[in-house]
Structure 1
Amino acid sequence: MAAGATPSPRHGAFHSLRVSAVERLTDDAVALTLDVPAELREDYRFTPGQHLAMRRITAEGGEVRRTYSICSPAPRAGAGPERLTVGVRLVEGGEFSTYAHKEIAAGDVLDVMVPAGRFTLEPAGSAGHYAAIVGGSGITPVLSIASSLLAERPDARFCLVRSDRTAASTMFLEEVADLKDRYPDRFQLVTVLSREEQDAGLDSGRLDQERLAGLLPALLPVDEVAGWFLCGPFGLVQGAEQALRGLDVDRSRIHEEIFHVDEAPRAAVRADAPSDSRVTARLDGRAGTWPVQDGETLLDTVLRNRGDAPYACKGGVCGTCRAFLVRGEVRMDRNFALEEEETEAGFVLACQSHPLTDEVELDFDR
């Protein structure tokens, strides 16, 4: 590292951040704004589209982690953020979202991991036409992407197609309207309500593959869009991807982030999987080797020996536990976080990976 260079934040590092504001967006959604002290702003520098993992220690001594996307625009000129805002939608039975809605107040201090995630767009090099298809709270990272891009690049355009149940359940309604007011010639907004008729605009109903396949070419020149950002429930994202592929959009131009997945089929257990394996893991420049206990994931093995291993959802959705497979072979139960290019390059989700060889080596630092 060159003299005077700033070291990268450690993987999975948590810091205590104070809540400066709690804003109610809808009956079931709030925005939490966090103050970032000067000495931590470099650690919390983020790329639009990234998320934060938050941690709560339970009364029994366990912990609950959840990830929430940053909706704030990135500071100009690459500065570290003074504040970060995330949107939290209440999930039925959700431990952290219930806590956020009923207990968190301005002045509270939360444990917050440094930003992570690859559902991103680099505004500095992003001239051209971009588009997003989002559902519900999927607007959160796209709000950061669109606002950052339009502010940074006067030659960029952005089309947002959003689906919500009703107008009253729509998160960040005013913030999106403000984008339309500030960039009337460069920001295009299309809203679809699935359970409520609108006075103007599109008919109500779900945005499924068939509907999107007919709608998108009527809205914008599909083949000229440099990047598509799909975010929200699994069904909407899957349908949007299939519609785009049917319109001959190259997979490299499609970026996805799943916010909710119902229980999905998992990969079949192979009969030839070894009964005893060892995993070597490199994390923040230090490596160790440990035996994998029967049935546990590689992340669980690493966590038994390195409590600072990065993770959040443990469901194959957020991608926080992404690691490079240096050697060996693994089976992933499911993957809703890594794109094809990443898996082809050798990356895996440690929280979903089980060894298929006697020796497996992971590198979390890649």
Structure 2
Amino acid sequence: MFHPLRVAEVSPLTDDSVTVTFEVPEELRGEYRYAPGQHIAIRRGADGAEIRRTYSLCDPVAAPPDPGPRRLRVGVRLVETGEFSTYALKELAPGDVLDVLTPAGRFVLEPRPGRFAAVVGGSGITPVLSQIATLLAREPQARFCLIRSDRSAASTMFLDEVAELKDRWPERLQLVSALSREEQQTGLPSGRLDEERLAALLPALLPVAAVDGWYLCGPLGLVAAAERALRKLGVPRSRVHQEIFHVDEPSAPGPAAAAVPGGGTVRATLDGRAGSWRSQAGETVLETVLRNRPDAPFACKGGVCGTCRSRLVSGEVRMDRNFALEPEETEAGYVLACQSHPLTPEVEVDFDA
């Protein structure tokens, strides 16, 4: 559910990124309780249209019985032609009010003993920062190795905060940085972290087979390269978790003939209420539901954030693309409503599942 939250701070991180902090009213703290690695969707009206964007929460999570956060902080990087990121960097100010969805997402690392590692690129550090800070503060038997890739030192988000974590837990946090467009005195030689380089680097940094969980976050190219490198190194798929922050190439639309001619019927359950509606030719499941239930959850509409995740109860759909669901989720019948086109006259989904 969305709630209007007041902006408390807008603080510069780099030349092209800021952190945005929202105040959480006392009565909503429980609703905005989040797990390390989760995100929020932010909604804003502009020129008669609605803009939604998803951003990961970057602060550590307090241990129970904390009733929930008093503030929510996200990192926003400027994206070329990005409507919300341009607004956040150039116009957003303390005192402004935006609609904020309660936290969601399954890219989560709950504190537990063990060895963990992450490969992140650019703004992909944001959810992992929350994971590292929470894990090391609450679980003394945990270790973490962070491999991060950025263009240059000046463009590196949360540089000081990561350094502070390293200073606080020097024996339990291993930090390795690679800059793709700048030489550095220490650390890795400059250049991109591709599959070949990662396959050689990771075993030199840590015992790959002993890592209990791998967390990959950033642009599609880096995440895909890291996943292939880990597969080459024999890491079980169940230990690899990923979240895509940016997809460079657009997906080609699926064939029109695959959809139900003339539309069909979509039935959806949302917040305990079910309804059935006629779909129009070419519509996704989400588009059909939104025409009748404007409160249906979504953010990116690009198959990346996973906010519109729902369980397919009956019927068949074709997903144009999926960068958010794990294989075990799709095997269990979950789909992204924003990418799902009905293939049968009747389709039923459950957003509450």
| Coarse TM-score class (shorter-chain normalised) | over 0.9
Aligned residues of 2:285 and 2:342 also touching (Cα < 8 A): yes
Is the aligned partner of 1:295 residue 2:282? yes
Aligned residues of 1:267 and 1:332 also touching (Cα < 8 A): no
Aligned residues of 2:6 and 2:23 also touching (Cα < 8 A): yes
CA separation in 2, counterparts of 1:188 and 1:99? 36
CA separation in 2, counterparts of 1:88 and 1:273? 37
Please name the residue that 2:82 is paired with: 94
- Among 34, 41, 48, which residue is 2:22 paired with? 34
Is the aligned partner of 1:281 residue 2:268? yes
Output the TM-score relative to the length of structure 1: 0.94
Aligned residues of 1:267 and 1:334 also touching (Cα < 8 A): no
Output the TM-score relative to the length of structure 2: 0.98
**What is the Cα deviation at residue 21 of structure 1?**
1.2
- Among 13, 19, 27, which residue is 1:25 paired with? 13
Aligned residues of 2:260 and 2:281 also touching (Cα < 8 A): no
Is the aligned partner of 1:171 residue 2:121? no
CA separation in 2, counterparts of 1:272 and 1:185? 55
What SS does the aligned partner of 2:154 have? Answer: helix
CA separation in 2, counterparts of 1:314 and 1:296? 13
**What is the Cα deviation at residue 263 of structure 1?**
2.7
Q: Kindly provide the CA deviation profile for residues 83-112 of structure 1, in whole angstroms up to 9, marking residues without a partner as x.
A: 111000000110000000011111221111
Is the aligned partner of 1:220 residue 2:203? no
CA separation in 1, counterparts of 2:294 and 2:256? 29
What SS does the aligned partner of 2:299 have? Answer: coil
Please name the residue that 2:291 is paired with: 304
CA separation in 2, counterparts of 1:263 and 1:315? 11
Distance 1:42 1:349, change over 3 A: same
CA separation in 1, counterparts of 2:128 and 2:16? 20
For these two proteins, the number of residue pairs brought into alignment is 351
**What is the Cα deviation at residue 77 of structure 1?**
1.3
Over aligned residue pairs, what C-alpha RMSD do you find?
1.0
Aligned residues of 2:259 and 2:282 also touching (Cα < 8 A): no
CA separation in 1, counterparts of 2:258 and 2:26? 53
Q: Give the AA of the match of 2:99.
A: D
**What is the Cα deviation at residue 269 of structure 1?**
2.3
**What is the Cα deviation at residue 58 of structure 1?**
1.0
CA separation in 1, counterparts of 2:152 and 2:84? 24
Distance 1:222 1:169, change over 3 A: same
Q: Give the AA of the match of 1:325.
A: L
Please name the residue that 1:246 is paired with: 232
Q: Kindly provide the CA deviation profile for residues 109-135 of structure 1, in whole angstroms up to 9, marking residues without a partner as x.
A: 111111011111111xx2100000000
**What is the Cα deviation at residue 268 of structure 1?**
3.6
CA separation in 2, counterparts of 1:194 and 1:64? 32
**What is the Cα deviation at residue 78 of structure 1?**
4.7
Aligned residues of 1:28 and 1:169 also touching (Cα < 8 A): yes
What SS does the aligned partner of 1:76 have? Answer: coil
User: For structure 2, which runs of at least 5 residues remain unmatched after alignment?
Assistant: none
Distance 1:150 1:14, change over 3 A: same
- Among 63, 69, 75, which residue is 1:81 paired with? 69
CA separation in 2, counterparts of 1:294 and 1:270? 9
Q: Kindly provide the CA deviation profile for residues 334-366 of structure 1, in whole angstroms up to 9, marking residues without a partner as x.
A: 000001010000000000000011110000001
**What is the Cα deviation at residue 76 of structure 1?**
1.7
Please name the residue that 1:62 is paired with: 49
Please name the residue that 2:346 is paired with: 359
CA separation in 2, counterparts of 1:122 and 1:16? 28
CA separation in 2, counterparts of 1:70 and 1:122? 14
